[in-house]
Chains A and B, each alone.
Chain A
Amino acid sequence: MSGEPQHIDDVHHELKLRGVLGWIEYRLPVFNWINNAVGTNYPTPKNLNYFWNFGALAGIALVIQILTGIVLAAHYVPTVDGAFASVERIMRDVNYGWLFRYVHANGASLFFAIVYVHLFRNLYYGSYKYPRELLWWLGLIILLLMIITAFMGYVLPWGQMSYWGATVITNLFGAIPVIGDELVLWLWGGYSVGEALLRGFYSLHYLLAFVIAGLAILHIWALHQHRSNNPLGIDIKGPQDVLPFHPYYTTKDLFGLGIYLILFAALVFYMPNALGEPDNYIPADPLQTPAHIVPEWYLLPFYAILRAIPDKLGGVMALAAALLVLFVVPWLDTSKVRSARFRPIYKQLFWILVADVFLLGYIGGSPAEGIYIPIGQLATAYYFLHFLVLLPIVGKLESPKPLPDSIATAVLEENKRKRARKLPQVGAQPTSAGGHH
């Protein structure tokens, strides 16, 4: 770039359309709308790394859930007597039914994996900070609804885990003082988990996916207002810091999607039940509790926190707090610097938190006995310690490394350093998408 630094909004790539497209565009400017959203007219920081693929992947994962879900819904029977059999029929008799169900079930798992990476990416690069707090909140609300949606979906096949998972989780609400018992009765629509609950869950499971889609649109709207954060965590200063989304990031996202679909296919075609619980292939039996009730892997850390507190109400409150604390992270983090790259102490705390969450997941999947109990309690305590104590203090005490002047200078310098270190440089580095020379 040469001459005066321009404002990035001065760079316009208006589409000039003729013929049929021009006719439509004149009446409904949909093509420029797309172009402004994910096209050549959406300026994106030039230094995004592969962790910035996960938002787009999450969107695709949602679309896959909705498409496969609509097909499943056409063959599924939401009754206590019919549900299990209808899912077995989908698996055995409906043409490609097995494919739709395995894609839907494993797709839910991978959807969570993607969203968790996405969330921890934000924690690492401080993307939740000013001015992206609302963007962060919308993401957390989406996560909350995903948890509810997946839980309700898991009840639908009406296997043993479906039934007993529903029983244990709905009973949690009974811990709420005064209204608890009434609330549980209301959730059940009867005296136990049964027909009324199954139908209600089915209806809401279908609905919530679309509520999530709506929120995702708001999420992206908020993103576009201040544009993507980046690995350096510094603001875009001018056109030299950005690249048009298309073709640079459409290509990069497509590449990421390719990798994702390969993993997805490996899971669906070679180990479709690896992430599931065998007990859910036993029809629900209201008179027989399975020996171990465990949720799907993506809820295990929360389950561990629930069980860490030896009191029913306390456990429920800890579970809720574990999610709610994330909403106040933008204010608990007192550091002005976004990216952990320039925050030596926070960077270490981040990785300890990651390890802690994995530990919680492991504990959540283990029986609640012996040594697992105190470990689970310690890991829970650390989770809250990280957010409520360490995060505010570290922001004040730590002295961050100096920030680069701009994205462009940092990218140029990094490339220079790399070239000096090992000549010749082959291909682009994954950490600097814009480093083509």
Chain B
Amino acid sequence: MTAEPKGDDGTRRDFIYIATGAFATVGAGIATWPFIDQMNPAADVLALASLEVDISGIQPGHALTVKWRGKPVFIRHRTPDEVQQARAVNVADLRDPVRDEDRVQQAEWLIVVGICTHLGCIPLGVKETDPKGDFDGYFCPCHGSHYDSSARVRKGPAPRNLEVPAYEFLTPTLVKIG
């Protein structure tokens, strides 16, 4: 390696610099990923079992809160009136337009995640004495979002309807959430 021409030497050095730099950058980038991904839900959290709820005790016009994956789920036994009201709405006028028929499996049972789609407070309306908002559903006191009897947002800052979780009726009175 004694008689290298000068220019050639420079190019080789440049190559080594760039290759080293590129390797270090890619390596550092790859090493970052575990640091980021460790914060995502762990396997045991993901594996959280589903929840079976006996709904035989909920009278028409009443509702129940159950806890699923750390979140409240509202199960409401709707009266024919409430169903009628939810279906009379002109869907096109809604902020998050979904037909009531597409939000329930059985007309009298409305099952939604009880977390306001604005900033995550728990809306009121499950308890007898709770305010139910201007549309006879749920009312979020944090920043004033009103949900109707299909738990669709009608007023206030919330962008979306209350989420419908995956569920199935195992028997007419036993529902499995998740």
Q: Please determine whether A168 and B122 come into contact, CB atoms closer than 8 angstroms.
A: no
Contacts of B39 in A (CB 8 A): 186-187, 189, 196, 200
| Per-residue A-contact encoding for B127-150, CB less than 8 Å = 1, 0 else | 000000000000001111000000
With A189-B42, A189-B45, A368-B144 as known contacts, state yes or no: A312 contacts B119, CB within 8 Å.
Answer: yes
Whether a CB of chain A sits under 8 angstroms from the CB of B176 is: no
Whether a CB of chain B sits under 8 angstroms from the CB of A5 is: no
Name the CB-closest residue of A to B70.
A192
With A287-B122, A293-B121, A312-B159 as known contacts, state yes or no: A191 contacts B69, CB within 8 Å.
Answer: yes
Contacts of A189 in B (CB 8 A): 39-42, 45
Contacts of B122 in A (CB 8 A): 287-289
Q: Please determine whether B42 and A196 come into contact, CB atoms closer than 8 angstroms.
A: yes
Q: How far is the CB of A8 from chain B (nearest CB, A)?
A: 43
Contacts of B79 in A (CB 8 A): none
Whether a CB of chain A sits under 8 angstroms from the CB of B118 is: yes
| Per-residue B-contact encoding for A275-306, CB less than 8 Å = 1, 0 else | 00000000000111101110000000000000
Contacts of B65 in A (CB 8 A): 287
Whether a CB of chain A sits under 8 angstroms from the CB of B60 is: no
With A196-B45, A287-B72 as known contacts, state yes or no: A168 contacts B67, CB within 8 Å.
Answer: no
Chain A, interface residues (CB within 8 Å), range? 20 to 34
Q: How far is the CA of A192 from the CA of B72 in the complex (A)?
A: 10
Q: How far is the CB of B45 from chain A (nearest CB, A)?
A: 5
Q: Please determine whether A164 and B70 come into contact, CB atoms closer than 8 angstroms.
A: no
Name the CB-closest residue of A to B114.
A287
Q: Which of B51-104 contact A (CB under 8 A)?
A: 65, 67, 69-72
Q: Please determine whether B120 and A168 come into contact, CB atoms closer than 8 angstroms.
A: yes
Q: How far is the CB of B57 from chain A (nearest CB, A)?
A: 18
| Most chain A CB neighbours (cut-off 10 Å) among B36, B65, B71 | B71
Whether a CB of chain A sits under 8 angstroms from the CB of B21 is: no
With A189-B42, A189-B45, A291-B141 as known contacts, state yes or no: A286 contacts B119, CB within 8 Å.
Answer: no
Q: How far is the CB of A408 from chain B (nearest CB, A)?
A: 52
Whether a CB of chain A sits under 8 angstroms from the CB of B157 is: yes
Q: Please determine whether A190 and B121 come into contact, CB atoms closer than 8 angstroms.
A: no
Name the CB-closest residue of B to A312.
B159
Q: Please determine whether B118 and A190 come into contact, CB atoms closer than 8 angstroms.
A: no
Q: Please determine whether A289 and B141 come into contact, CB atoms closer than 8 angstroms.
A: yes
Q: How far is the CB of B123 from chain A (nearest CB, A)?
A: 8
Q: How far is the CA of A188 from the CA of B48 in the complex (A)?
A: 15
Q: How far is the CB of B134 from chain A (nearest CB, A)?
A: 14
Q: Which of A174-213 contact B (CB under 8 A)?
A: 185-194, 196, 200
Q: Please determine whether B121 and A289 come into contact, CB atoms closer than 8 angstroms.
A: yes
Q: How far is the CA of A1 from the CA of B4 in the complex (A)?
A: 65
Q: How far is the CB of A77 from chain B (nearest CB, A)?
A: 19
- From DSSP, what is the main secondary structure of chain B's interface residues? loop
Instruction: Give the number of chain B interface residues (Cβ < 8 Å).
Output: 25
Contacts of B71 in A (CB 8 A): 191-192, 286
Q: Please determine whether B41 and A191 come into contact, CB atoms closer than 8 angstroms.
A: yes
Q: How far is the CA of A291 from the CA of B120 in the complex (A)?
A: 14
Q: How far is the CB of A276 from chain B (nearest CB, A)?
A: 20
Contacts of B120 in A (CB 8 A): 167-168, 170-171
| Most chain A CB neighbours (cut-off 10 Å) among B41, B67, B70, B119 | B119
Q: How far is the CB of A9 from chain B (nearest CB, A)?
A: 39
Q: Which of these, B40, B69, B157, contacts A312 with CB under 8 Å? A: B157
Q: How far is the CA of A289 from the CA of B114 in the complex (A)?
A: 11
Q: How far is the CB of A331 from chain B (nearest CB, A)?
A: 32
With A192-B70, A310-B157 as known contacts, state yes or no: A167 contacts B144, CB within 8 Å.
Answer: no
Whether a CB of chain B sits under 8 angstroms from the CB of A4 is: no
Contacts of A200 in B (CB 8 A): 39
Q: Please determine whether A286 and B72 come into contact, CB atoms closer than 8 angstroms.
A: yes
Whether a CB of chain B sits under 8 angstroms from the CB of A10 is: no
Q: Please determine whether A286 and B42 come into contact, CB atoms closer than 8 angstroms.
A: no
Q: How far is the CA of A187 from the CA of B38 in the complex (A)?
A: 11
Contacts of A186 in B (CB 8 A): 36, 39-40
Name the CB-closest residue of A to B141.
A291
Q: Please determine whether A307 and B143 come into contact, CB atoms closer than 8 angstroms.
A: yes
Name the CB-closest residue of B to A168.
B119
Q: How far is the CA of A391 from the CA of B70 in the complex (A)?
A: 48
Contacts of A196 in B (CB 8 A): 39, 41-42, 45
Contacts of A311 in B (CB 8 A): 157, 159
Q: Please determine whether A191 and B72 come into contact, CB atoms closer than 8 angstroms.
A: no
Q: Please determine whether A168 and B40 come into contact, CB atoms closer than 8 angstroms.
A: no
Q: How far is the CA of A42 from the CA of B71 in the complex (A)?
A: 58
Q: Which of these, A168, A172, A194, A368, contacts B121 with CB under 8 Å? A: A168
Whether a CB of chain B sits under 8 angstroms from the CB of A405 is: no
Q: How far is the CA of A170 from the CA of B69 in the complex (A)?
A: 17
Name the CB-closest residue of B to A310.
B157
With A196-B39, A310-B157, A368-B144 as known contacts, state yes or no: A190 contacts B119, CB within 8 Å.
Answer: no
Contacts of B48 in A (CB 8 A): 191
Q: Please determine whether B121 and A185 come into contact, CB atoms closer than 8 angstroms.
A: no
With A196-B41, A291-B141, A312-B159 as known contacts, state yes or no: A286 contacts B121, CB within 8 Å.
Answer: no
With A186-B39, A200-B39 as known contacts, state yes or no: A368 contacts B72, CB within 8 Å.
Answer: no
On A, residues with C-beta under 8 Å from B are 164, 167-168, 170-172, 185-194, 196, 200, 286-289, 291-293, 307, 310-312, 315, 368-369
11 A–B pairs (Cβ distance < 8 Å), ordered by A: A168-B121, A186-B40, A190-B45, A190-B69, A191-B71, A196-B39, A286-B72, A287-B72, A289-B141, A291-B141, A292-B141
- Apart from the given pairs A191-B71, A312-B119, 4 other A-B contacts in the complex at a CB distance below 8 Å: A168-B121, A186-B40, A188-B41, A191-B69
Query: 5 closest Cβ contacts across the A-B interface?
Result: A192-B70, A171-B120, A191-B69, A168-B119, A289-B121
